[in-house]
Structure 1
Amino acid sequence: MLTEAIILILAGSVIGTLSGLLGIGGGLIIVPILTFVLVHFHQITFDQSILMAIGTSLASIVFAGGVSSFYHTKRNNMDWSIATQYIPGVLLGSTMMAFVIPHLNIAFIKHAFIVYTFLAAYEILKAPTIKSVVQLPAVFFANIYGFAIASISTVIGIGGGTMFVPYFIYHKVKPRLAVGLSSSLGIFIGLGASFGFIKNGLHVSQLPQFSIGYIYLPGLILITSSSLIFARLATKWIHQISVLSLKKIFACLLFLIGLSMLFAG
């Protein structure tokens, strides 16, 4: 139990830092780590473990994103008039996909996660090649995009930061504001998805103790509590340090995570 707690607290500290600096909720780290914890410490099958890891990851994003959004708002890195245009589509996409995902093939979910980690690592490492910039779309198209990102994010178990941040930057939004917007929209991805994962897992047998549906409460509490502390610190650091080195480290970490998941299960 002590080893498990240390692993989850360390994971939370890394996730909080990434959330505050890059607007990334940390699901790409939570999912493989929590899958490992559930398989090796609780002898839960890989299929059930990855579903629980995704559900718990999305639930944790509600809290980490909430704190990050609060401090970004406090430091004028947030514009709720933009965020509200995307929220309906985000909620609909995450809630619908949360009800679909338990019926998907686990191999599909696993390989979708692996492919996304490699793509995210590549996008983070490569130099930006934007040739033109355009204004934010109308509300209808904003919700379509929000729906699409939330649906993909729910399958992967992430808050959508690796998609929302470059999207907003492309649409003439300043980078720090893009991070704040990404954090806020992650809250609503987490809320919609958590509802579905709880409902779908309530009557599933052989889940670990202290679980609510497909959400593992000890993992949620330990990861979230440590991530909240570091998310608050990171929103201060964003004005003081360059994130270029952090991006390179994170990209390499994603590549290693993708490889580890490729050979897991």
Structure 2
Amino acid sequence: MLVSILVYLCCGAVAGVLAGLLGVGGGIVIVPMLVSVFPTQGIPPEYVQQLALGTSLASIMITSVSSARAHNKRGAVHWDIFRRMTPGILLGTFFGGLVASHMPTLFLKVFFICFLAFVAVQMLSSYRPPATREMPGALGTAGAGGVIGLISSFVGIGGGTLSVPFMSYCNVPLHHAVGTSAALGFPIAVAGTLSYIIGGWQQPDLPAGCFGFVHLLALVGIAVASFCTAPLGAKLSHALPTSKLKKAFAVFLIIVDIRMIVALL
């Protein structure tokens, strides 16, 4: 039990730094770690991935608030973009989570592995959008939010790995894209958590301490640590060369991806 708590705290600490640094919710780190830890806690294999996804999204509710507050103090959150993307995000994440709750674990693991590879390639890319490109209108922005929310619910993330590139592609300054993405992590997390709780409600053989597909002990450990470290990540994002950090993180993701592929095989 003590070892598990320490693992959850370490996982949350890393997730918090990443949330503030890159505008991601930390799910990219949280999900693989929980997938490794949960089988040792006696959790049935058929529920491991769903519990990891639901718990990750629940923890992002805390991480995103802490990270968004830190970025907002630096004027890096575009609340107009937040308001336009949120309706689509709520719908996409909620319905995506309900669907994912009843999908086979193998499919979700393969989807997550493919998503990690996509994110790593994306972070290693040096593509720059045309200088004339701007954010789409209200309908287009809401639609983009829906797609981001849908994919986020399948991989248990706060959406930063999609929303930051989307906003950067529309020529929102990188630090502002990171800050706005941190704020967008909250509606993604709320809708996703609710859907995983409903999807996992009264599932047979779930261990004690689970609220639907949310593992409460893991949630507390991750949330406490991530809330404390997210402001540090936000501070670093405004002080360090983000491009080099993104490339280093991409290499880390490739390593995680390879480990997950080996474990799957």
What pairs with 1:102-181 in structure 2 (closer than 5 Å)? 102-181=101-180
Tell me the secondary structure at the aligned position of residue 189 of structure 1: helix
Deviation at residue 51 of structure 1 after TM alignment: 0.4
Other-structure match for 1:260: 259
1:39 aligns with 39
Aligned to 1:193: 192
- CA separation in 2, counterparts of 1:129 and 1:237? 23
Please list every run of 5 or more consecutive structure 1 residues that lacks an aligned counterpart in the other structure.
Answer: none
Q: Give distance in 2, aligned partners of 1:215 and 1:127.
A: 37
Distance in 2 (CA, whole Å) between partners of 1:139 and 1:131 is 21
Superposed displacement of residue 134, structure 1: 1.0
Distance in 2, matches of 1:102 and 1:162, equals: 22
**In the TM superposition, what are the counterparts of 1:17-56 in structure 2 within 5 Å?**
17-40=17-40, 42-56=41-55
Are 2:160 and 2:182, in contact at CA under 8 Å, matched by a contact in 1? Answer: yes
For residues 157 and 60 of structure 1, what CA distance do their matches in structure 2 show?
10
1:75-126: CA deviation from partner (whole Å, max 9, x where unpaired): 1111212210010000000111111112223222111100010111111122
Q: SS in structure 2 opposite 1:261?
A: helix
Alpha-carbon separation, structure 2, partners of 1:132 and 1:45: 51
Instruction: State how far apart, in whole Å, the 1-side matches of 2:96 and 2:238 are.
Output: 36
Whole-angstrom CA distance in 1 between matches of 2:186 and 2:45: 27
Percent pairwise identity: 34
Equivalent AA in structure 1 for residue 35 of structure 2: T
- Provide the TM-score with structure 2 as the length reference: 0.95
Q: Name the aligned partner's letter for residue 215 of structure 2.
A: Y
Is the contact between residue 98 and residue 195 of structure 2 (CA under 8 Å) also seen in structure 1? yes
Alignment match, 1:250? 249
Structure 2 unmatched runs, 5+: none
2:77 aligns with 78
Q: Aligned in 2, Cα 1:120/1:133: closer, same or farther, shift over 3 Å? A: farther
Which of structure 1's runs of 4+ aligned residues deviate more than 3 A?
Answer: none
Check the 8 A contact 2:44/2:205 in 1, yes or no.
no
Partner of 1:209: 208
> What secondary structure sits across from 2:25 in the alignment?
coil
**Cα deviation, residue 238, structure 1:** 2.2
User: How far off is 1:249 after superposition?
Assistant: 2.5
Once the two structures are TM-superposed, the CA of residue 132 in structure 1 deviates from its matched residue by 4.6
Matches of 2:209 and 2:182, distance apart in 1 = 28
Distance 2:128 2:180 in 1: 22
Partner Cα distance (2:242, 2:6) in 1: 26
Question: Does the 8 A contact of 1:99 with 1:197 survive in 2?
Answer: yes
What corresponds to 1:3 in structure 2? 3
Scaled by the length of structure 1, what TM-score is found? 0.95
What CA distance in whole angstroms lies between the structure 1 residues aligned with 2:39 and 2:220? 19
The amino acid across from 1:4 in the alignment is S
SS of the residue corresponding to residue 126 of structure 2 reads coil
- Aligned partners of 1:113 and 1:156 also within 8 Å: yes
